[in-house]
Amino acid sequence: MNSCSTPSPLCYYLLMTATTTNAAVSAAEHKESVERKDGPDRKEPTYTFTEKQVSEKSEIARRFLDTRTRLNGNVEKANNFLVKRFYNIDHNSYLEGALPAKTKELMGLVASAVLRCDDCIFYHTIQAYRLGVTRAEQEESLNVALVVGGSIVVPHLRRVYELLQELYG
């Protein structure tokens, strides 16, 4: 789950670190490789909607995002080094790159659905919505998850369809 879409202190830190770290790593890597992938070329996607706009549109999204923000506060306060590095790498996985950010958010959605994690499903559905993904694209992604993951995915499908209904009306 991309964990840094809100401008919270932790995320500010992570983004700053990301930059700083990339700089340091770039120097170290320079001699070794020129054709490096995924490194300097990655960049933040442009969102069509803010989290706030999503929260105003969907009560389910609002409750989810509020709880997530509140709980992330504890994680932030704990200031655990490895957790922060993991959040950082997680954040980097969904940036614009060889594949568009929206494709990768939908991949995150499919992965979350087959692993049956409601929070993760909600998160990626919201992220995809914020990036301008259509409802038909969301449903088709969920269809891949349904066929790969089987009927055990159905209860999660039912719940995310309620979110889709609120987001896309």
Give the length of the chain. 169
As measured in angstroms, the least distance from the Cβ of 61 to a copy of itself is 15
Residue 77 neighbours by CB under 8 Å, 6+ apart:
none
As measured in angstroms, the least distance from the Cβ of 57 to a copy of itself is 16
What is the rounded distance in angstroms from the CA atom of residue 116 to the CA atom of residue 152? Answer: 8
What is the rounded distance in angstroms from the CA atom of residue 142 to the CA atom of residue 116? Answer: 12
Provide DSSP, 113-129. Answer: HHTT-HHHHHHHHHHHH
As measured in angstroms, the least distance from the Cβ of 68 to a copy of itself is 7
Which residue, 17 or 53, is less far from a copy of itself as judged by CB? Answer: 17
Which residue, 55 or 103, is less far from a copy of itself as judged by CB? Answer: 103
As measured in angstroms, the least distance from the Cβ of 6 to a copy of itself is 14
